[in-house]
Amino acid sequence: MKYETLRLIRNLLLRCFVIGFLFAVFLCLVTYFCWTPCVGLIGGIFHINEAALSPLVIKFFLNIRFFLIFLVLVPALAIHWTLKREKLSR
């Protein structure tokens, strides 16, 4: 791959990480502040109680963290370090 293509992919991954992180923080804040009314609403629609919903929410945020770190940030950092090494060797 060309240097410019790798740079574009790196920049895209880093921006995806930032946007995903901001989205995860937003979801966390909405979940925290709207927990009580949302549990009642979700319980009425899906017939699930708070004891069953809490582990699902925690698993959701763990999956977001896994995705952002291991599938977006790690490849972006690897490409960044590779480009840095290539630039120094030129």
Q: Can you give 69-90 as a three-state secondary structure string?
A: HHHHHHHHHHHHHHHHHHHHHC
Say what the pLDDT of residue 61 is: 96
CA distances from 16 to 8, 12, 80 (A): 12, 6, 15
Residue with tokens 């919903």: 53
- The CA angle 63-16-20, to the nearest 5 degrees, is 45
Rounded Cα–Cα distance for residues 86 and 10 (Å): 14
Domain region containing 21: 3-89
Average pLDDT value for residue range 3-26:
95
Please state, rounded to an integer, the average pLDDT across all residues of the chain: 93
Number of domains composing the chain: 1
The pTM (predicted TM-score) of the whole model is 0.84
pLDDT band at residue 11 under the 50/70/90 scheme: very high
